[in-house]
Amino acid sequence: MQLTIRNMVCDRCKAAVTRLLDEQGMSPSRVDLGEVELTQDADAEQLDQLQAALRAQGFDLVLDHDAQVINKVKAEIVRRIHHGADGRVDLAAMVRETVHRELSSVSKLFSEVEGITLEQYFLLQRLERVKELIRYGEMTFSEIAFATGFSSAAHLSAQFKQLTGMTPTAFRKLAHPARTPLDKVGS
Which tens digit of pLDDT belongs to each residue from 84-130?
766 678 999 999 999 999 999 999 999 998 999 999 999 999 999 99
Position 184 scores a pLDDT of 75
Residues 89 and 178 in one domain: yes
Q: Which domain holds residue 174?
A: 67-184
CATH number at residue 167: 1.10.10.60
Residues 40 and 90 in one domain: no
| Cα distances (angstroms) measured from residue 142 to each of 145, 155, 172 | 5, 10, 14
Position 85 scores a pLDDT of 67
Residues 24 and 96 in one domain: no
Which residue among 63, 83, 112 closes a domain? 63
* Number of domain units in the chain: 2
pLDDT confidence tier of residue 180, bands split at 50, 70 and 90: confident
Q: What is the mean pLDDT of residues 55-76?
A: 91
Position 94 scores a pLDDT of 94
pTM of the predicted structure, to 2 decimals: 0.76
Residues 51 and 87 in one domain: no
**pLDDT digits 0-9 by tens, 115-174:** 999 999 999 999 999 999 999 989 999 999 999 999 999 999 999 999 999 999 999 998
